[in-house]
Amino acid sequence: MPATIRKGFPVWATLFIEFLLVIAAVMLALWAGEWVKSNERKQSAATALENIYYEIRGNKQYLEQLHQRHKDYAENFDERFDVMVALDPLEASSEEVWSANLIPFRGWDAAWRLAQAGGVLSEVNYEYAVAITSAYGIQEIYADYGKEYLSVAFNLDYVDPDKKDQVRDSIKATLASFIIFNQTLLNQYDQTLTKLEEHPDLNITKN
């Protein structure tokens, strides 16, 4: 320390001031380092949310197409049934067999899983985390239901004439379930996307 500062000060006072200056410098360096890390975490969280936003939006667009397909297939189903039962599944087109029309939705979740694995969601406010978790949670339930159905779906392409009514009811019930699941998930997608669009730190392009 310069002599002008030392002059008139006891040695202990000079040492104490130097100690305080060192502590202040260390604290400032630690604060600056933590500020940089906090900004990096915040940016990582924002990037993760943007990726999730676009992933959910892509899922929504695909599900809207599938939802319309299910509804179109359900319309006038009874009138088509007898004609479709008579088709040979090996010769019928993909539009004519049950398994091609009863497609359960399987959405993408890579962005969601990466965000979870990276731990960046700890930087996300609770309200956004709830909206995202709700969307992917319903999506996962639908996927699990779809897996169970797919294990038997292709067996419906051949219909035993003696069990025609039973198969008709089974297909209609499954189709009705898909339509309900579709609409429920579409509603949640809309809510989640709207919530993420409110986030002040996200650089997203709507539609």
Structure tokens at 203: 């650089």
pLDDT in tens, 33-42: 665 556 667 7
Give Cα 13 distance to the centre of its chain: 61
What does residue 105 show for φ and ψ, rounded to 5 degrees? -80, 135
Please tell me the distance from the alpha carbon of residue 24 to that of residue 35, in angstroms, as a whole number. Answer: 16
pLDDT in tens, 17-76: 777 777 777 777 666 666 555 666 778 888 999 999 999 999 999 999 989 988 888 887
Please tell me the distance from the alpha carbon of residue 62 to that of residue 64, in angstroms, as a whole number. Answer: 5
Structure tokens at 80: 């088509």
